[in-house]
Amino acid sequence: MQSEEIKVIDNFVEITEQLSFKNYIDSNTNANYTFNTSSVTPDIKPDGSLQINYPQFIFPIYDARPFIPDPIIFTKLYIWLEKNNLNNHSIFRIKMNTIFPFPHATEKNYGMKHQDMESEDYLSIIYYVNNADGDTYFFKDNEIIKRISPKQGRAVLFNSNIFHCASCPVNAIYRQAINFILKKG
């Protein structure tokens, strides 16, 4: 995958699996969310007038330590990777982010640009759990090169070293996405 290549896959999993997963997430009252006051690592500073650093809830699903707080969710997601022929990569991290509308944010605002990893040895996947506004932006040399709208069941695959960011929903009550980082195998 070239560094500028950003692949969008609608219906990353079948609609019945999308709905089953969303229902499980919605009904899982034991989820251990962490409130993060910053959308990215706090030492990254804004470099554009449209960037805002919004808070979000983070639900860790897997990280390389290893840590699996909910084996049911992890198993479902691993099966999704297998169905999409992505299980030949090592899982580095999986987490779910939930973002809410932010005061005074508009559709022109976006979050803090970041890379998931600096190395080209990693692949990132963003899977949208629900339909929402709050697009994902992709950048090259501080210019927006692509903008993807959240749609339930949609996944975006890209090299982890591509700068990108989410944006807060303006009309939807929340935006929920699962972020995968895979070590290419």
This prediction's pTM: 0.89
In a domain, 151, yes or no: yes
Q: Which of 17-26, 40-49, 96-105, 175-184 ranks highest by mean pLDDT?
A: 175-184
Structure tokens at 14: 């079948």
Residue-level pLDDT at 114:
93
Convert the pLDDT of each residue in 109-166 to its tens digit: 898 899 999 999 999 999 999 999 999 999 998 899 999 999 999 999 999 999 999 9
In a domain, 172, yes or no: yes
In a domain, 70, yes or no: yes
In a domain, 47, yes or no: no
| Other beta carbons within 10 Å of 85 | 8
Q: Please report how the helices 15-27 and 71-83 are oriented relative to each other, as an axis angle in degrees rounded to 10.
A: 160
In a domain, 58, yes or no: yes
In a domain, 43, yes or no: no
Cα–Cα dist 184/3, whole Å:
14
Task: Residue 83: give its domain's CATH number.
Answer: 2.60.120.620
Q: Which residue range(s) make up the domain with 88?
A: 6-27+54-183
In a domain, 1, yes or no: no
In a domain, 44, yes or no: no
Specify the number of domains making up the chain.
1
